Structure 1
Amino acid sequence: MILRTQARRRTVAAAAAACALVVTLAGCSGTTKDDNDKGADGSSAGSGAKADPDAPLKKNLKLAFLPKAVNNPYEKIVDDAGIAAAGDFAGKGKEVGPSDASASSQVSYINTLIQQRQDAILIAANDPNAVCGPLKQAMQKGIKVVSYDSDTAKDCRQVFINQASSEEIGRSLVRNIGKQIGYKGKVAILSATQNATNQNTWIGFMKDELKNPKYKGMKLVKVAYGDDDDQKSFQQTQGLLQAYPDLKGIISPTTVGIAAAARYLSDSSYKGKVVLGGLGTPNQMRKYVKDGTLDQFSLWNPEKLGELGAYAAAALASGQITGAQGEKFKAGDLGEFTVGKDGEVILGPPTVFDAKNIDQFHF
């Protein structure tokens, strides 16, 4: 026994020395076999972990939802649904996060969740890169990371739950408002924060769509930022109309922004003259559709987004998937989903809400 112990000590010492020699090239994590040899992505080291689609979902999984801001009503719906879904597979979910949507506001929460040894962190990133350092630390410790709604940089998570095709969202918002203004006039975009991954991706596709010859009579005059703050978004709407009194349309691809813009327009001389479109929830926008402030807006079901996120996190934590393209997993009553390129999982196409169908939806 003593000889075996001494041999084992010599083996460990040799391994440590080897690690020191290659640290500048490979970067030793300091883990041992007792840490399951976790790699930088939280999967097994070496040739990489293999998915076991038949593995049962683990019990008592701890999932933490980290939204852009806890006072964002849209993300509250997403997170509450995800927390409820965790109960379906005997897991436990919770929501934590900042009250502001600044780039670095989520970092301290990630660090705390690492200390709490959560099984998975689900994050709607305020900035794709500001959160990367602590998220990578989380994955090194075996914590699975799922981004939803607003993505992180691709190497900072395993799976990204996207509401719909980013291209379809961006292009459809331009198509919808183009039809409403007869493809003529000045338009502006009221976004969330300047660094919001989802907003910037959608805006990129909006700008590309506007290059189509059929939009030659339309001009994008400004992209304004309300920082997903109700009052600032209200003021930005006012500022846009003061700067461009002949503005024909505003696209706001953020639920906070579109609701604030609608509130301003509904009590102004621009009501019925400036077309408002974008992404909103039926409960927020119902009265504005009914009073004629806007004709339509778009969104997917945020409850389903939260549910899908919870099941994806559970599938990762249980070894059913690793985040590789082509892997499949079941998400309860939502059915089966396939992991796409770069770990993206798409919920489905957005729904257009108007006076004809808005009373059918309550979220």
Structure 2
Amino acid sequence: MITPLRGVRTTLSIATAGFLALSLVACGGGTTKDSASNDAGSNSGTTATADPNAPIKDGLKLAFLPKQINNPYETIVDHAGIEAAKEFKGEAKEVGPSDASASSQVSYVNTLVQQGHDAILIAANDANAVCGPLKSARDKGVKVVAYDSDTNPDCRDIFINQASSEAIGRSQVQLLSEQIGGEGEIAILSATANATNQNTWIEFMQDELKKPEYAKIKLVKIAYGDDDDQKSFQQTQGLLQAYPNLKGIISPTTVGISAAARYISSSEYKGKVVLTGLGTPNQMRKYVKDGTVASFALWNPNDLGYLASYAAAALASGQITGAEGEVLKAGKLGERTIGANGEIILGDPFTFDKSNIDQFDF
């Protein structure tokens, strides 16, 4: 297990031993059935009382709505949530758009409501674009869980945050600074310009860069690859051509970091420009082993989907309402206390490098 890099603050904690047993479970979507009742939950216009001892209802219908279908990271998260639903005799499926534009998820929300789902779990492409449909869904008794990328808090019941946004943002700067010797020009390769999670992390990156120890580091550009592999590849090429003195790139998106690594690995910049960010071990293994990337970070995406699934079931069964201080019982993950604005934090980011990457398979 990796020891935190020098200069990385204690917010970067080490994953537990159980985390080392990760494996990717391949599974399919749920089947179609008659709508289950929503009478256990409240809608957005009423105040409900939680009953933590209430059983999870049988036959709950859940739907995962990722930023886009076929995003490798989102597929891992959603399929883990689909598997989790089987533990409480629920049914779950994944639906979503092929692109990550701001409004691409709206029609899917409306369709899922018409199909009688008990809960919609969404990784929002835009914090506000989906709010109208989600509010209408909640008025009809449908529970809404945001995961990975939040909506406006008024539009959902709970947000499952993969890790503290501050810890993610600041740790990315700390990782890169360590690798470039604390000085030089850097860039950020993000996903979409409206992605809530990306923008929050970037704000903390920018704030971290204001500290005296980073006085010799200059952020020259924030580029957007729109979570599209080819566009992210081209944006990487553009950054390196536009800024010949670039020392490092942070890409806090699994699509972006793998595309950037692919470009750098076969270019003159390999070994000269540092790349770090958020990626999955299976995506990044070959780039770590060939020296393109020294280290990167993430969390357990299987656990993120699992936790989101249990949160949706608990909401739909009346065990929780999303109020601060309530305790979610999340199966094998144990208990999580709901924080301010209905936020539940999965855990802390974890750093992968050559010494530990072969211990993971996702």
Same fold? TM cut 0.5: yes
Give the corresponding residue for 1:280. 279
Equivalent residue of 2:128, what SS? coil
Give the corresponding residue for 1:235. 234
Call closer, same or farther: CA 1:292–1:38 in 2, change over 3 Å: closer
Mapped to 1, the partners of 2:39 and 2:182 lie a distance apart of 59
Mapped to 1, the partners of 2:178 and 2:357 lie a distance apart of 20
Give the corresponding residue for 2:33. none
Q: Are 1:41 and 2:40 an aligned pair?
A: no
Give the corresponding residue for 2:252. 253
**How many angstroms does 1:63 deviate by?**
0.3
Asked if the contact 2:40/2:318 (under 8 Å) is kept, the reply is: no
Asked if the contact 1:38/1:140 (under 8 Å) is kept, the reply is: no
**How many angstroms does 1:41 deviate by?**
1.5
Mapped to 2, the partners of 1:66 and 1:50 lie a distance apart of 27
Give the corresponding residue for 1:270. 269
Give the corresponding residue for 2:333. 334
Q: Are 1:319 and 2:322 an aligned pair?
A: no
**How many angstroms does 1:35 deviate by?**
9.0
Alpha-carbon displacement from aligned partner over 1:271-320 (angstroms, at most 9, x marks no partner): 01000000000000000000000100000010000000000000000001
Equivalent residue of 1:200, what SS? helix
Letter in 2 for 1:69: Q
Give the corresponding residue for 1:191. 190
Q: Are 1:179 and 2:182 an aligned pair?
A: no
Asked if the contact 2:192/2:224 (under 8 Å) is kept, the reply is: yes
Q: Are 1:133 and 2:136 an aligned pair?
A: no
Asked if the contact 2:41/2:48 (under 8 Å) is kept, the reply is: no
**How many angstroms does 1:40 deviate by?**
4.9
Give the corresponding residue for 1:225. 224
Letter in 2 for 1:330: K
Please report the RMSD computed on the Cα atoms of aligned residues, expressed in angstroms. 1.3
Asked if the contact 1:38/1:141 (under 8 Å) is kept, the reply is: no
Mapped to 2, the partners of 1:338 and 1:69 lie a distance apart of 29
**How many angstroms does 1:117 deviate by?**
1.0
Mapped to 2, the partners of 1:158 and 1:221 lie a distance apart of 38
**How many angstroms does 1:36 deviate by?**
6.2
Give the corresponding residue for 2:296. 297
**How many angstroms does 1:245 deviate by?**
1.0
Equivalent residue of 1:277, what SS? strand
Letter in 1 for 2:161: N
Give the corresponding residue for 1:13. none
Give the corresponding residue for 2:142. 143
**Structure 1 segment 104-143 matched on structure 2, within 5 A:** 104-143=103-142
Give the corresponding residue for 2:159. 160
| Larger Cα-atom Rg | 1
**How many angstroms does 1:37 deviate by?**
11
Asked if the contact 2:186/2:249 (under 8 Å) is kept, the reply is: yes
**Higher relative contact order (Cα pairs below 8 Å, separated by 6+ residues):** 2
Q: Which blocks of at least 5 consecutive residues in structure 2 are unaligned?
A: 1-36
Give the corresponding residue for 2:11. none
Q: If each structure's helix is expressed as a fraction of its own residues, which one has the higher value?
A: 1
Mapped to 2, the partners of 1:236 and 1:87 lie a distance apart of 41
Call closer, same or farther: CA 1:227–1:83 in 2, change over 3 Å: same
Call closer, same or farther: CA 1:112–1:301 in 2, change over 3 Å: same
Q: Are 1:350 and 2:353 an aligned pair?
A: no
Q: Are 1:64 and 2:67 an aligned pair?
A: no
**Length-normalised TM-score, structure 1:** 0.88
**How many angstroms does 1:112 deviate by?**
0.2
Q: Which blocks of at least 5 consecutive residues in structure 1 are unaligned?
A: 1-33
Mapped to 1, the partners of 2:341 and 2:137 lie a distance apart of 19
* Count of aligned positions: 326
Runs of 4 or more above 3 Å deviation: 34-40
Mapped to 2, the partners of 1:63 and 1:36 lie a distance apart of 15
Letter in 2 for 1:41: S
Give the corresponding residue for 1:18. none
Letter in 2 for 1:153: N
Letter in 1 for 2:329: K
Alpha-carbon displacement from aligned partner over 1:32-81 (angstroms, at most 9, x marks no partner): xx996986526xx3xx1111111111110000000000110000000000
Equivalent residue of 1:347, what SS? strand
Mapped to 1, the partners of 2:150 and 2:328 lie a distance apart of 20
Asked if the contact 2:41/2:316 (under 8 Å) is kept, the reply is: no
**How many angstroms does 1:350 deviate by?**
1.0
Mapped to 2, the partners of 1:147 and 1:36 lie a distance apart of 21
Letter in 2 for 1:101: A
Mapped to 2, the partners of 1:162 and 1:38 lie a distance apart of 22
Alpha-carbon displacement from aligned partner over 1:207-251 (angstroms, at most 9, x marks no partner): 000000100000000000000000000000000000001100000
Asked if the contact 2:41/2:143 (under 8 Å) is kept, the reply is: no
Mapped to 1, the partners of 2:311 and 2:38 lie a distance apart of 23
Mapped to 1, the partners of 2:182 and 2:292 lie a distance apart of 20
Alpha-carbon displacement from aligned partner over 1:331-361 (angstroms, at most 9, x marks no partner): 1111111100000000000110000000000
Mapped to 2, the partners of 1:38 and 1:202 lie a distance apart of 32
State the identity %: 73
